[in-house]
Structure formats: C-alpha cells, structure tokens
Structure 1
Amino acid sequence: MNLAFAKIEFDNVDRSHERQAGLSVQSDSNSADRLDNPPEFRPGEFVVYPAHGVGHILAIEVQTVAGASLEFFAIYFAKSKMRLHVPTRKAPSVGMRKLSSSATINQARLTLSEAPRRMRANWSRLINEYESKIKSGNIIALAEATRDLYRPANSEQSYSERQLYTAALHRLAEEVGMVEGITEENAVSELEGVLLGRLSRTQ
C-alpha cells in the first residue's frame, strides 16, 4: 500500500465508528502499567493492534474516566472503518506494536515456505487455535496459520476453513503491503505465490 495514499485514506475518518479499548484489560500484576521501556507510539504512525490489524494513530486524546484524566491513542482502521481508543499506558500490555521490520517480514515468508503442520485434533479445537493465531498480533503465528490453512484451488476445503484462511491471508498481506509499500492485493498474490511454490516443491 502506498503510504501517502494510505494516510489520505486514514484521514477520512468515519466518526460514527468509535470504540473504547483496554479499560477492562487484566494483567497478572500491576507492572504492565509501568513498563520500564514501553514502545514509543506517535500520532501519524501506523501500528498493529492484535484483534484488528493495521491501524493509523490519529492523535493522543485526553478523556475523563471515573473522575480521572486519561490519555488515549485514537486509532483508525481503514479496512473496517472503525475508530478505537486505547489507553496509552495499556498499549504495550494489550499487544499493540509497531509494524514489523523487513527482516521479520522475510521470516514470515520463510514460515509460509515450510511444510504445514498437520494437527491431530478435533475441528473445534483447531478453529480456536487458528483464531488465536490470527488475533495474536504475532506476524509469525499469523504466517503459520496461513500456511497450515492453505489448500490448492482444486482441493476440497470446508467453508469455515476457507473463511479462516482468507482472514489470515489478508491480515498478513495488510501488514506486508504497508511495510513494503505495495497494495494489499499485490501482497496477497505474492504470498500465495510463496505457498504455491512450496506445494510445487513437495510434489
């Protein structure tokens, strides 16, 4: 995705799509609120939020919650046309992160090129595992789910499998496209080429 075009698109905010995030996040200790070296996020920056993918930080806003003034990142997700408010102090603990480096993107491609892991478990358990990977915010886990769910075009695949594969592939392609400055559609084609190439080598 071209960054200049993306920023214009993100700036056309649909104000009716707003959500609040992070206030109910629980942690094992209070240390999550006082990270010594939390990642620095700034307005104008593109980030990855685990449940929603790539978003654009529009601003840092101050709101009063239960009588206390709190800072929030106002994040817009163009794909879902949704705006999310994330407490600045909670951002690291809820898994918000910066876009992956080029080296990590290449590692994700390498993961796609590896043999899929065939798990012997009932389908409901597999669905939960795949969904967890897709929403984890971890690009390598996302690549693993994409790889393991991939089936050739002429293979039988259930509707739910196909839906999960499409969700994983497009979530992965969204970040790859943003990092590499290409459209999501081109990233999808390139990543499926990696999967198809792996399949060709094993036949």
Structure 2
Amino acid sequence: MVAKKSQQRLGFKTGEYIVYPSHGVGLIVAIEEQEVAGLTLELFVISFEQDKLTLRVPVAKIKSVGMRKLAEESLVAQALTTVTGRARVKRTMWSRRAQEYEAKINSGDLIAISEVVRDLYRSEEQPEQSYSERQLFEQAMDRMSREIAAVNKLTLTEAVQLIEKQLAKSPKRTKATEAEAEAEGDEEAAA
C-alpha cells in the first residue's frame, strides 16, 4: 500500500466529509494505491467514526456506488422544511412500506431520508411505534442528523435538537386525523 502524493480525485479530497449512501457521512482520510490480483487500484479510504468502520472504495466505482459531497445549505433547509409537512403514510402492508423506507434511507438522498423521518415520527401523545418502525425512524434520524451536523458545523446533539424542533411544528396527528388519512387512503384505493 502506497499513499498518493496528490490527494484529490474526481473532485473529492482528503479531509473532506462525504455521504456514502449505505453508511451515511464519512471522512476521506486518504487516497492510496493498492495492488489487487496484479492490478494497481486507486482507493478512497473513508472513515465512518460512528460505526468504527473504514471503507476502501475504488476511485473508478465512486459514481456507481453513489458517493456524493455533503448537501448544500439550501438542501438542508429544504430537508428541514420537509419534516414539518404532513406525514404521508401509504395504506399498504407494513413489509412493503418498510422496504420503501429502507430504500429511501440507503439512497443517500437527504430529502428522501427526511421524508422517512417525517412519516415515521411519533409525538408523545401518539400511539407507540412497533420495534421495526422505531428502528427505521432512528436509522433515518441518525443519517439526517449526521449530515446536518456536518453541513452546519453543529454537534450531533444540536442537529438532532434542530430536527426535533422542526418535527414539533408538523401538523399534529391525532386519532381523528389518522382516521381521516385512513378514509382518504380507502377512497384512493377505491378510485
């Protein structure tokens, strides 16, 4: 393994935070060459401190894996606005919705992740979530808060508080509004 002198490839450089769709926010710690099966590969070495994980990604695979730079501040503002909207819960089986939520979380798209946070959020007055719902909510919240913390140079706790403050502004979901949403879902299904 030989570290490269020039520490920038495809617009990414060492010391820069990036988003890797299936792992969230990571830090490029090095760009190195490694010989694999007689071929020399250039690799990004990405550290995910929260998961105690180091990933080596071939430079040539960056586009296909969906690695991207952190979101712009305007996109962060849009994501925070998204979580204040009315939850859009489809009336499909939970297993199908769970797959869709998982796909949105692993897409690395900040807006899609914020939609999952919005849709799975439960206030104190609402009924308890199932274990799998809570797991998906926490995973989406973690990904969203880590990116917002990196973009806005906040601590993780401050980013979580910022998102929770926005969630508190969302329309209250009471049993009556849930019943209305169910009725709307039934009407849409009948149409």
Whether TM-score is above 0.5 comes out as yes
Query: Once the two structures are superposed, what CA deviation does each residue of 1:84-132 show, in whole Å capped at 9, x if it has no partner?
Result: 0000111122110000000010110111111111101111111111111
Residue in structure 1 matched with residue 160 of structure 2 by the alignment: 188
Query: Once the two structures are superposed, what CA deviation does each residue of 1:119-168 show, in whole Å capped at 9, x if it has no partner?
Result: 01111111111111111110010001110111112322111111111111
CA distance in 1, matches of 2:149, 2:59: 26
Q: In the TM superposition, what is the alpha-carbon distance from 1:185 to its structure 2 partner? A: 1.0
Matches within 5 A, 1:108-187: 108-156=79-127, 157-187=129-159
Q: Which stretches in structure 1 are left out of the alignment for 5+ residues? A: 1-37
Could you list the runs of 4 or more consecutive aligned residues of structure 1 that deviate by over 4 angstroms after TM superposition? 200-203
Aligned with 2:13: secondary structure? coil
- CA RMSD in angstroms comes to 1.7
Kept after mapping to 2: 8 A contact 1:39/1:92: no
Residue in structure 2 matched with residue 85 of structure 1 by the alignment: 56
Q: In the TM superposition, what is the alpha-carbon distance from 1:187 to its structure 2 partner? A: 0.9
Kept after mapping to 2: 8 A contact 1:39/1:97: no
Aligned with 1:116: secondary structure? coil
Residue in structure 1 matched with residue 37 of structure 2 by the alignment: 66
Q: In the TM superposition, what is the alpha-carbon distance from 1:39 to its structure 2 partner? A: 4.7
Q: Which stretches in structure 2 are left out of the alignment for 5+ residues? A: 1-8, 178-191
CA distance in 1, matches of 2:49, 2:167: 27
Instruction: Figure out how many residues of one structure are paired with residues of the other and give that number.
Output: 166
| Residues 1:199 and 2:171 are matched in the alignment | yes
| Residues 1:54 and 2:25 are matched in the alignment | yes
Query: Once the two structures are superposed, what CA deviation does each residue of 1:5-24 show, in whole Å capped at 9, x if it has no partner?
Result: xxxxxxxxxxxxxxxxxxxx
Q: In the TM superposition, what is the alpha-carbon distance from 1:66 to its structure 2 partner? A: 2.1
TM-score w.r.t. the length of structure 1 is: 0.78
More helix by share: 2
Percent pairwise identity: 46
Kept after mapping to 1: 8 A contact 2:17/2:26: yes
Query: Once the two structures are superposed, what CA deviation does each residue of 1:40-78 show, in whole Å capped at 9, x if it has no partner?
Result: 111111100001111010111111122110100000001
Q: In the TM superposition, what is the alpha-carbon distance from 1:200 to its structure 2 partner? A: 4.7
Task: Answer 1 or 2: higher relative contact order, Cα 8 Å, separation at least 6.
Answer: 1
Residue in structure 2 matched with residue 101 of structure 1 by the alignment: 72
Cα distance change of structure 1 residues 185 and 145 upon mapping to structure 2, 3 Å threshold: same
